[in-house]
Amino acid sequence: MLLKIENLTKSYSGPDGRVPVLQGISLSLDAGETLALTGESGSGKSTLLHLIGGLDHADGGRILVGGQEVTALDDAGRAALRRGMVGLIFQQFNLIPSLTVRDNIRFQARLAGREDPAWAAALTDALGLTEQLTKYPEDLSGGQQQRVAIARTIAARPALILADEPTGNLDEDTADRVMDQLTRLVDEAGATLVLVTHSSALASRMARQCHLSHGRLS
């Protein structure tokens, strides 16, 4: 079991007191599984992903990634977990503007101590980025930037990939192509994927689907 979540709770402060967002979430995923997490806007999907990735603190419950308890780690421990085991793909791309495409792709793998030029070359070829390697993010289209973000994450060979609406800024045709590439490369890397999406079509590509509503999974 790669990911295990037990009775996870999270709330935020509101004008009338604490507002519950996640209420007793429990979930488990084996290595290599893919999961789509759906739900209305504001249902807590991104919050759950951020908690799994150690970007936020839970109020209660436990999250274990590869047997390591994320909810018990300090800031340095969570940062180390993201460098070594967890890869994050966001809707906003979050590329480093001062780095070329080649160096953006190498960045996460270098931090993880797992730079593999042959694997990086295979990724850039599969994602159609070979001719873009010397360019900077500002010179790329949105679809190209998202493919760079995907390559950067997968180049580090994380065991768990968390993708938060990774095609939300793309048109439908580009989104389909990017998702084709993402799912194929995740499979080749043997990674576990948790995908947050509003799209039922994208969700159907995942082996499992969970719906988040009123702070609970179904």
Q: Average the pLDDT over 178-200 and give the result.
A: 91
The per-residue pLDDT for 41 is 87
Q: Above 90 in pLDDT, residue 175?
A: no
Task: Report percent pLDDT > 90 for the chain.
Answer: 76
Q: Could you give the count of Cα atoms lying within 13 Å of 166 in the half-sphere of its Cβ?
A: 31
The model's confidence at residue 174, banded by pLDDT at 50, 70 and 90, is confident
Per-residue pLDDT reduced to its tens digit, 77-135: 999 999 999 999 988 889 999 999 999 999 999 999 999 999 999 999 989 999 999 99
Q: Above 90 in pLDDT, residue 170?
A: no
pTM over 0.85: yes
Sheet holding 3-14, edge to edge: 17-29, 3-14, 60-65, 68-69
Instruction: Domains for the chain: give ranges and CATH numbers.
Output: 29-56+74-209 (3.40.50.300)
Q: Which string of b and e fits 14-30 if b means at least 16 CB within 10 Å?
A: eeeeeeebbeebebebe
Q: Above 90 in pLDDT, residue 201?
A: no
Number of helices (H) and strands (E), helices first, in the chain? 7, 10
